[in-house]
């Protein structure tokens, strides 16, 4: 099993997209990349902790490639928006890939370059690619939030 961690806006919708990928064994929403230990949702929402809302994924590389997970990441948000996705504004909603291995870093950087060169976006890609940092699991009511409420997604 391997881990992958992505931030692409509000973690509720991002989590659903990855949970539905064959080969993804588990997902957890949480906070990563900030300065505060053990932050709460309320802390992160102040936009002062530096954390991003993220989904940490455990996946079986024999069933799904990291490249496929990158494709899901790119396809399910606007990577050109800086510190926001749609109406959600703040550094916690930034587009970010936290890599766990040098291979993940290489693949993430290559995929970002490919997307940037594709002509698909009118603005530069703002996605950060940074080393994995401590992951702080969000409160239980955030885990599989949409599924608990019978919702398929929360597209804007």
Question: Which member of 8, 10, 52, 72 is catalytic?
Answer: 10
Residue 153 in any domain: the answer is: no
Residue 122 in any domain: the answer is: yes
Angle at 48 between CA 43 and CA 50, to 5 degrees: 95
Dihedral (CA of 114, 120, 126, 130) sign: negative
55: left (phi over 0), alpha (psi -120 to 50) or beta: beta
Domain of residue 107, residue span? 2-148
pLDDT of 91-132, one tens digit each? 999 999 999 999 999 999 999 999 999 999 999 999 999 999
Could you confirm whether 10 is annotated as catalytic?
yes
Residue 72 in any domain: the answer is: yes
Closest Cα partner for 25 from 74, 54, 62?
62
Query: Residue 136: which CATH number?
Result: 3.30.1060.10
154 — pLDDT class (breaks 50, 70, 90): low
Residue 137 in any domain: the answer is: yes
Asked if pLDDT for residue 141 goes beyond 90, the answer is: no
Beta strand extents in the chain (DSSP E only) = 2-8, 24-32, 52-59, 84-85, 88-89, 95-99, 128-131, 135-137
Determine whether 108 is exposed, middle or buried from the number of CB atoms within 10 Å of its CB (0-12, 13-18, 19+): buried
Out of 10-14, 37-41, 141-145, 152-156, give the one with best mean pLDDT.
Answer: 37-41
pLDDT of 12-31, one tens digit each? 888 999 999 999 999 999 99
Q: How many domains does the chain have?
A: 1
Q: Can you state the percent helix, strand and coil of the chain, rounding each to 5?
A: 30, 25, 40
Residue 35 in any domain: the answer is: yes
pTM: 0.92
Residue 155 in any domain: the answer is: no
Evaluate whether 53 touches 93 at the Cβ level (below 8 Å): yes
């Amino acid at each position: 099993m391997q881990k992958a961690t992505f931030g692409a806006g509000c973690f509720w919708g991002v989590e659903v997209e990855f949970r539905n990928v064959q080969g993804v064994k588990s997902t957890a929403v949480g906070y990563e990349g900030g300065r505060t230990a053990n932050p709460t949702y309320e802390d992160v929402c102040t936009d002062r902790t530096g954390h991003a809302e993220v989904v940490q994924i455990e996946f079986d590389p024999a069933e799904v490639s990291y490249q496929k997970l990158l494709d899901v990441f790119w396809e399910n948000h606007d990577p050109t928006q800086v510190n926001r996705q749609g109406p959600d504004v703040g550094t916690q909603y930034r587009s970010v890939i936290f890599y766990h291995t040098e291979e993940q870093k290489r693949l993430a950087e290559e995929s970002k370059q490919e997307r940037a060169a594709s002509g698909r976006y009118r603005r530069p890609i703002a996605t950060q690619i940074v080393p994995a940092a401590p992951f702080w699991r969000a409160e239980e009511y955030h885990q599989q939030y949409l599924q608990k409420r019978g919702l398929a997604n929360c597209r804007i």
